[in-house]
Amino acid sequence: MFGTIFGTKELATEGPTTLVIKSKDIDLNKFSESNVIVMREKYPGLNDDVLARYLIARNNDLTKACEQLQRALEWKALHGPILKSTCIKEISSGKLYIRGVCKEGRPLLIYRSCKSFPNERDLEEAARMLVWFAEHLQRSMPPHMSKYTLLVDRVGHKSENTDSDLMKHVSSQFQDLFPETLMRAIIYPSDVVFYSIWAIVKWFMDPVTREKVQPMMYLSGVEQYIDRQYIPKSMGGDDEYEYNPDDFADPYSEEELAAAKEAAAKSASA
């Protein structure tokens, strides 16, 4: 038997834990401390929260967790950090932005599908924009949390707004870069057609992901998770915010920005 205290775990038979877990979103029962210790030695610059998230994502399989984390580190070394200037057209579209919090105090990422036009966007730039906002989310997260809430605004959505190619393009990349960071995805309004499709598609998802997706037919369903003050007026809420890309700057430190700009300059002159 063991008892858990927020951010710590003590094992009666093994003595006090060495784990330092800050996020209450991390389930201490879904990974082993011994695997975290091994990953610490391999990745000394990363904290226990990050290592635990990769282990949970791979069902505590140490080999798979290390492989996934290694892919993420290699991708960041090659491509990161993503600068606003490299995806400014997509950022300016207003299809995606961070605004307010859900009732649990998690950052709220809002996606307006009516502003998505797959035939007009550049696939790679759109992918960079998604990573850029995801970095924003991670850096604005309360220290005791590690998951955000996604609100998908389908008001005015048409079939030509669906960007399946982008979702396929970034799916595995996001799993590597940001594992165990989505708390739930609220999709509203979800009409009868959407529900009919969802009733079939959801069974092709793993159970964990399936449980995170919450299609809502009525606004009252959205209000179970988000206060009206943070629900856009276009969706029936009270938030009159008009998106402005200037409200969002690069989320990185001065050192990271300097290194990124230096790398970009070298690449341009090569």
Q: Are 248 and 136 in contact (CB under 8 A)?
A: yes
Strand partners of residue 92: none
Confidence of residue 7 (pLDDT cuts 50, 70, 90): very low
Give residues with Cβ within 8 angstroms of 168, minimum separation 6: none
> What's the pLDDT tens digit per position in 176-210?
999 999 999 999 999 887 878 778 877 766 677 78
Q: List, for residues 10-68, the tens digit of each pLDDT value.
A: 333 355 789 999 999 999 999 999 999 999 999 999 999 999 999 999 999 999 999 99
Tens of pLDDT, residue by residue over 69-82, are: 999 999 999 988 99
> Alpha helices of the chain — where are they, by DSSP H?
33-42, 48-57, 62-79, 88-92, 123-140, 164-177, 192-201, 207-212, 219-222, 254-269
SS3 98: strand
Q: What is the pLDDT of residues 208-259, one digit of tens each?
A: 778 899 999 999 999 999 999 999 999 999 999 999 999 999 999 998 888 8
Let me know: does 147 contact 181? Beta carbons within 8 Å: yes
